[in-house]
Chain A
Amino acid sequence: MSRLSARARDRLITALLAILTVSWLLAVEGRQGFGRDEGQYFRAGERYWGWFEELGENLAAGHPGLSFKPASLDRYWNDNAPDHPVVAKVLYGLSWRAFHHCTCTGPARGLHPIPIRGKHRTLPLFRRDSTAFRFPAMLFAALLVGMVYRFSRRFVSWPAAAAGAVLTLAQPHYFFHAQIACFDAPITTMAFAVGFAYWKALRSPKWGVLTGVVFGIALGTKHNAWLMPIFLTGHYLWMRRGDLLGRWFGQAARRRVPRVPLAFVAMILLGPPIFFAHWPWLWQAPLARARTYVKRHLEHEHYNFEYLGRNWNAPVTEASLKPLRMTAPFVETLFTVPVTTLALSLAGAVVLMRRRRGEPMGPDAEPEAPLAPEVDWRRPGADVDRAPGAFLAVQIFGPLCVIALPATPIFGGVKHFLPAMPYIAVAAAIGLDALARAVAAAVTRERLRRAAPVAFAALVCVPAVVETRRSHPDGLSHYNLLAGGFAGGASLGMNRQFWGYAVLPMLPWVNDSPNHGGMYWHDVISDALAMYKREGRLALDAGDTGYAQPGIERSQMGILFYEKHWTVYEGWIWDDYGTTRPVFVRDREGVPIVTAYERPPR
């Protein structure tokens, strides 16, 4: 390392972190089942690919315009609309088309959402279709880890920045989402990318323009992007509070309203056009359909979610419960992020609060002192301290506070405020750097002094990595040392899982049973079942008796996922099967995750 220039070293470390991220995720994703959401995104991604396939055929036939006719657009792009825009799903579909190992003309041919006209020519990197779908999500995670390193390097030494990057990935709940073909990890990456671009834009006009482009891509990834301008505005006003107060660095100045910076102008001018351009479903009626999309999320149903022993499935109306409900994102963070990471981020917060304005974060940090004498809307952070503490605060507490509002649904748990997590890791890197410097300063031997920050950084990553490894593939069920692990989370009445991900280890039992034609799948969606069958993990003749009580009544065997609101389903099984005895329970450290029942012979 010492022979490399700082820039080359940073590039090398960034690349290594990204490669390790993808490697880790690829190594373990096969043990991770498909949830309700992911099953739909597999289907939608493949269907979107179908449009590109048809476009290619129409191009070859000399009439590409056919692909842009309303009926043709809607045939493909109606899928999963108006729920979510399509950046991630298109990438999933393209990745599947490019990298799957094609057995498409085999017995599972009819399980594809688009007609299979023949064997696909592909670069068969992945044995399973689902891995090919998931690969872009892992690349998003790698991009995030790399960006966290690069962003942290603006404040701290390379060992602390590398640790911050590792602590970003090594969070059980983030890790769970980072390997699946959904949007929560990608939007976390894009939220960080928008924040990073904005940060650079404070002193660089080029990044002012690029912030608008990155924001447009974020808008196409998930609706969390709507909130980003609010958080950035909060930071911007704080950073430029001297304009409002008429006082800068202790000296009187002209009182004025802060100029709208180039980054915000670019976000307004570039964000919406990129959003509209990327989503063919919008093209026919841009405003009407965009309104439908916005309403879909502003009026989203409150699904069921367990938090501190209560089931929450509606806006809280009881005054006595409102404070408890508002604690959800904070307590969930406290109980899910590795405790050492939290402690380091607390140390980082102390460092940030103690920093004097204009002072760099440390010897390895870039300057915070003003670089220019006058304000310039193209680089509005050049004449002021950029307030990194406030920036991290809005990025961490912004997403948490939105979820804390009593009217906001909490059914997704941690995934709904994942964009806060990389910033918690950055704060941890800042805390780690300060503590590592103190340790190094206390060491007298030169070689040890140089090794101390690296050793300390490695040590604090160990619990996070071990916890993350322990949690897999049940990251949603995992709780940290403070909560008491899987068992502690269950005892505290914290949500154990959602959307049927945990079924995968049950499939051998289903396959082996002669009764699997009469299988009741509870919360596993048919798209997920189709994918398990396509991959040969589920018998092609495994049945699906449908949902709820009628599905149970038609079944010969069935499963039940443990979530508080599913209790009623277990009662139906007891009544209909005439037994309370499961044939087995899939558990983690003694905590039931999925229970299997078989109808006793009459």
Chain B
Amino acid sequence: MDTPLEAPALVPPARPRVSKAALVAAAAIAVLAVVEASVALVAPSRAPKDADWEAAAQAVRAGFAPGDLIVAAPAWADPIMRVHLGDLVAVEMAARFDDARFGRVWEIGQRGAHAPEARGTVALEQRFGALTLRRVERPAAKIAYDFQANWTNARVVRAAQGRPDVPCPWSGDRFQCPDIGFNFVHLQTVEVDFTLHRALLVQPVGGAEVVVEYAEVPLGRELVIATGIHDVWARKAGTGAVETRVTIAGTPAAAITTRNESGWQVTRVDTSKYDGRTVPVRFVVTSPAPFQRQFALAAEARR
């Protein structure tokens, strides 16, 4: 069955020749092999050591002032930074709205990386082994009103056309609307586009509006609103858009559409004409397809 067959060679076998191109390629691969092996052997020792982190952390502690921001670069090193300085990194700092309110940024960097938050004048730069500590200074945004810090002062209702508004009273740690378990407003850490932020979780409901109203907001020149869809699983399961209408002193000021792919969507509203005045600000949240719309809403009034 398996008879061996003789081979009448139609083409003579290739004979080895000294090819310059092959020699160059062989030399290049030999060099590559040496470089690759050397880098693999050396690379582990180039990583920052605990002592580097400790020394950098001590330097930060020596100069840290309330209101400063501490960041790691690249961002993936952030958990190690928090091991050493986590007591200075409150949840509000780690899950910040953005970096505008921070006038001084402590950046602990490695491998030449810089954090996007570390913009401004470099006031200090020090090496600690494989780490570089920089303190960057720049003008900070002045916050006239932090909607998250004052969220318990809000009034929450569920409103449906042709029906009286349904109040959502304070209940333990949230504003809970009646009859629908997920119809609440709660301040928490949200994950939007795989980044953590402090925001109000305001899940829209079918056939009604969820209204979050702040009666007395001292405004500055700008109202900055951030929206997004919280939770990777919700973004996977649901697809509906969430609409947010913002009214200031009863006047429509912005209409924001937020989708899964919107990320942490920042909308800026010019409030110059209200600068220095205290007025009501109202956020009205709806969705034509509210399934798994874990909607995150945050805002700051800036001078």
Residues of A with Cβ closer than 8 Å to B? 203-207, 249, 304, 311, 313-314, 318, 338-340, 343-344, 347, 356, 358-360, 362-363, 365, 367, 369-372, 379, 382, 434-442, 456, 459-460, 462-463, 466-467, 470, 480-481, 485, 487, 490-491, 562, 564-565, 567-568, 570-572, 574-575, 578-585, 587, 589-592, 595
CA distance A590 to B44 in the complex (A): 9
A459 neighbours in B (Cβ, 8 Å)? 30, 33-34
Residues of B with Cβ closer than 8 Å to A? 1-2, 5-11, 13-19, 22-23, 25-26, 28-30, 32-37, 39-41, 43-44, 46-48, 74, 76-77, 79-80, 82-83, 86-87, 89-91, 94-95, 110-111, 113, 130, 188-191, 194-196, 230-233, 236, 261
Contact B48 A481, beta carbon cutoff 8 Å = no
CB distance from B246 to the nearest CB of A (A): 25
Given contacts A339-B32, A340-B36, A591-B76, 17 further A-B contacts (CB under 8 A): A205-B2, A360-B14, A362-B14, A369-B10, A370-B8, A371-B5, A438-B16, A438-B22, A441-B18, A462-B33, A463-B33, A481-B36, A574-B94, A578-B91, A580-B82, A581-B83, A590-B47
Contact B196 A574, beta carbon cutoff 8 Å = yes
Least CB separation from B30: chain A residue: A459
CB distance from A481 to the nearest CB of B (A): 5
Contact A441 B17, beta carbon cutoff 8 Å = yes
B47 neighbours in A (Cβ, 8 Å)? 487, 587, 589-590
Contact B9 A369, beta carbon cutoff 8 Å = yes
Contact A567 B195, beta carbon cutoff 8 Å = yes
Q: What total count of A-B pairs have CB within 8 Å?
A: 201
CA distance A359 to B18 in the complex (A): 19
Least CB separation from B89: chain A residue: A580
CA distance A438 to B80 in the complex (A): 50
Partner of A363, one of B13, B33, B74: B13
CA distance A565 to B231 in the complex (A): 9
CA distance A441 to B25 in the complex (A): 14
Indicate whether A481 sits within 8 Å of B191 (C-beta atoms), given known contacts A347-B29, A487-B47, A580-B89: no
Indicate whether A363 sits within 8 Å of B16 (C-beta atoms), given known contacts A339-B32, A580-B82: yes
Which of A382, A435, A456 has most B Cβ within 10 Å?
Answer: A435
CB distance from B190 to the nearest CB of A (A): 7
Least CB separation from A350: chain B residue: B25
CB distance from A107 to the nearest CB of B (A): 35
CA distance A363 to B17 in the complex (A): 12
Which of B15, B37, B44, B113 has most A Cβ within 10 Å?
Answer: B37
Contact A581 B194, beta carbon cutoff 8 Å = no
A571 neighbours in B (Cβ, 8 Å)? 95, 188-191, 196
Least CB separation from A580: chain B residue: B94
CA distance A352 to B6 in the complex (A): 24
Which of A441, A470, A491, A568 has most B Cβ within 10 Å?
Answer: A568
CA distance A508 to B13 in the complex (A): 62
Least CB separation from B1: chain A residue: A205
CA distance A441 to B30 in the complex (A): 16
Least CB separation from A354: chain B residue: B14
Contact B44 A470, beta carbon cutoff 8 Å = yes
B23 neighbours in A (Cβ, 8 Å)? 438-439, 442
Contact B82 A372, beta carbon cutoff 8 Å = no
CA distance A367 to B17 in the complex (A): 19
CB distance from B228 to the nearest CB of A (A): 12
Contact B26 A369, beta carbon cutoff 8 Å = no
CA distance A80 to B95 in the complex (A): 40
A369 neighbours in B (Cβ, 8 Å)? 7-11
CB distance from B248 to the nearest CB of A (A): 30
B8 neighbours in A (Cβ, 8 Å)? 369-371
CB distance from A192 to the nearest CB of B (A): 22
Contact B11 A339, beta carbon cutoff 8 Å = no
Least CB separation from B188: chain A residue: A575
